[in-house]
Amino acid sequence: MLVDDAREIAAAIEERLSASACQGVKATVKSEQMSPKTVPAGAGRPVLTNYFIQIDDGTRLAVLNLGQADGLLDEIEQEWNSDRLFEAIRALGVPVENMV
């Protein structure tokens, strides 16, 4: 299931980051649920859930889809600090928000 994939990716990212100079950076699973506006007669209203990985260092925040997060996981190197991490996230085309 996608939720299991999301949890595995988030845990693997956080494990790699804690072994690097990015200690303190968190990778958590975020979900968004939505229902279609129209449903065929007689059908129940389905709920669709999208999963994302949210990366946060306390001052910056980025939300990656599972494909982007999996790609980032392959790139993380031990000597990376938080600045290098968020540069790599921006290179994936993902916006990074300042939290302060």
Chain segment 25-84, per-residue pLDDT in tens = 999 999 999 988 887 887 788 888 999 999 999 999 999 999 999 999 999 999 999 999
Are the CB atoms for 61 and 49 separated by under 8 Å? Answer: no
Detail the DSSP E strand segments found in 6-100: 26-34, 48-56, 60-65, 96-98
Q: Looking at residue 38, what is its pLDDT?
A: 82
Global confidence as pTM: 0.86
